[in-house]
């Protein structure tokens, strides 16, 4: 195997690497450092694999260049992947907001591996890539199991999320060695940790959820919020974390359908605590904990107390002190600067024959199947270009 000059060498046996390998028929080598390919894919969507979203569109992605995703997404849409599954007799179902799930994530993984092998892919697992160099027009990939040469190289090594499944910063290291620019990696689609004393309150409320509206800069999310042992999580928080940058303020409305100040003023003569008066909208226990010192009897409340209680519920502002980290993050934001790549093929403009796809690029999608669809779309774009190469 070491003496062969491969048409392509793909680094990473995850979603994008496997899909790319199965999308063109040239002889290729796929290198995976885990003992099996598709390990992370097997656990996505709680083991059900939220493989795409019917409402895939450019604005579902955060990217270093506004329109970079358009060409790949336009060329390969949700129905294109669905047709492949239907042809392979893999069942799926639609859940909320256009999310499509398989019956079992392992079925998707197995399908991708079979498809790659049918298209002349040699899969080598337990193989750590150490370095990529280019010599005499060929890419030399140095690994823990020998050196391999290819006319083209595809970096599909993903990000740093799920380090317990072998995630690594290989794409960033390789980019540095190849002289390419990167955006620093950060956890995304992840919980947010709140500063003291709010982290203590969240700990007391851990496990409770409610509908909330969260703002960060110009972005607004309305969905369920979950209290955790050190902050907040749930779909609304995970979505906003894609846009949040360290040091930025978030604004949370815990009662987005209630104008708390006006409601309390209408009941200002009642002898009950604010938490009791507002209990038709939220459980009194949550209200008591969150209001704290501002949970006073309405009849005794001065104007500043009423305003403070309203702000705490309708306009709570703070700067998160961090996130749940890569171990809890669904994806990694950051990656190789997309301005260095052709948006139609994912090929590096400065180094012909070098392709980067999936999460290794500085493209992050929203929760709900968008990131796996980016894996398919970017992989398909690279495969189309590679198929045309001799």
Distance CA 243, CA 237 (A): 10
> Whose CA is closest to 158, among 341, 11, 359?
359
Do residues 124 and 34 touch, judged by C-beta distance below 8 A? no
At residue 1, does pLDDT exceed 70? no
The domain spans of the chain are: 5-184+333-387, 192-323
Domain 5-184+333-387 superfamily per CATH: FAD/NAD(P)-binding domain (3.50.50.60)
> In what helix (H) or strand (E) does residue 173 lie, and over which residues does it extend?
helix 170-177
Fold match between domain 5-184+333-387 and domain 192-323: no
At residue 117, does pLDDT exceed 80? yes
DSSP one-letter code for 353:
T
Do residues 7 and 389 touch, judged by C-beta distance below 8 A? yes
Q: Give residue 343's pLDDT.
A: 98
Q: What is the mean pLDDT of residues 319-343?
A: 97
Domain 192-323 superfamily per CATH: Translation factors (2.40.30.10)
Do residues 17 and 113 touch, judged by C-beta distance below 8 A? no
CA distances from 102 to 87, 199, 243, 247 (A): 14, 37, 28, 38
Q: Give residue 215's pLDDT.
A: 98
Do residues 199 and 369 touch, judged by C-beta distance below 8 A? no
Q: Give residue 2's pLDDT.
A: 52
Distance CA 11, CA 206 (A): 40
Do residues 80 and 147 touch, judged by C-beta distance below 8 A? no
| Tens-place pLDDT, residues 136-152 | 999 999 999 999 999 99
| Tens-place pLDDT, residues 158-184 | 999 999 998 999 999 999 999 999 999
33-57 exposure pattern, b = at least 16 Cβ within 10 A, e = fewer: bbeebbbbbbebbeebbbbbbbebe
Q: What is the mean pLDDT of residues 313-317?
A: 98
SS3 136: coil
Q: What ranges in 27-143 are assigned the alpha helix state H? A: 70-75, 78-87, 105-118
| Tens-place pLDDT, residues 216-248 | 999 999 999 999 999 999 999 999 999 999 999
Q: What is the mean pLDDT of residues 105-129?
A: 98
Q: Give residue 3's pLDDT.
A: 72
Q: Which residue has the tokens 């980067």?
A: 356
Rounded percentage of the chain residues whose pLDDT exceeds 70 = 99
At residue 289, does pLDDT exceed 70? yes
- Report the mean per-residue pLDDT for the chain: 97
> Whose CA is closest to 357, among 4, 1, 3, 15?
15
């Amino acid at each position: 195997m070491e003496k062969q000059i491969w048409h392509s060498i793909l680094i990473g046996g995850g979603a994008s690497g496997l899909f790319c390998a199965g999308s063109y028929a040239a002889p290729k080598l796929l290198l995976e450092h885990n003992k099996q390919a598709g390990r992370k894919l097997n656990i996505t969507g709680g083991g059900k694999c939220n493989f795409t979203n019917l409402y895939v569109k450019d604005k579902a992605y955060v990217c270093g260049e506004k329109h970079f995703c358009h060409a790949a997404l336009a060329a390969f849409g949700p129905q294109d992947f669905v047709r492949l599954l239907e042809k392979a007799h893999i069942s799926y179902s639609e859940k909320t907001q256009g999310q499509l799930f398989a019956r079992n994530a392992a079925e998707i993984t197995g399908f991708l591996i079979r498809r790659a092998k049918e298209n002349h892919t040699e899969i080598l697992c337990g193989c750590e890539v150490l370095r990529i160099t280019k010599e005499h027009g060929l890419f030399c990939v140095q690994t823990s199991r020998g050196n391999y040469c290819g006319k083209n190289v595809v970096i599909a090594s993903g990000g740093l999320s799920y380090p317990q499944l072998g995630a690594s910063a290989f794409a960033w290291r390789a980019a540095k060695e190849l002289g390419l620019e990167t955006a620093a990696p950060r956890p995304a689609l992840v919980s947010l940790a709140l500063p003291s004393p709010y982290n203590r309150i969240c700990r007391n409320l851990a496990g409770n959820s409610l509908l909330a509206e969260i703002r960060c800069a110009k972005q607004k999310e309305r969905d369920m919020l979950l209290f955790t042992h050190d902050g907040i999580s749930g779909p609304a928080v995970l979505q906003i974390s894609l846009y949040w940058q360290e040091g930025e303020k978030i604004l949370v409305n815990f009662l987005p359908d209630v104008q708390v100040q006006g409601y309390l003023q209408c009941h200002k003569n009642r002898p009950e605590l604010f938490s009791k008066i507002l209990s038709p909208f939220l459980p009194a226990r949550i209200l008591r904990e969150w209001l704290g010192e501002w949970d006073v009897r309405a009849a005794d409340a001065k104007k500043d107390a009423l305003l403070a209680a309203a702000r705490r519920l309708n306009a709570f502002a703070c700067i998160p002190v961090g996130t749940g980290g890569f171990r809890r993050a669904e994806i990694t934001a950051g990656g190789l600067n997309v301005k260095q790549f052709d948006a139609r093929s994912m090929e590096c403009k400065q180094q012909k024959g070098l392709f980067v796809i999936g999460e290794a690029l500085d493209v992050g999608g929203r929760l709900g199947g968008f990131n796996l669809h980016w894996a398919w779309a970017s992989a398909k774009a690279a495969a189309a270009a590679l198929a045309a190469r001799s």
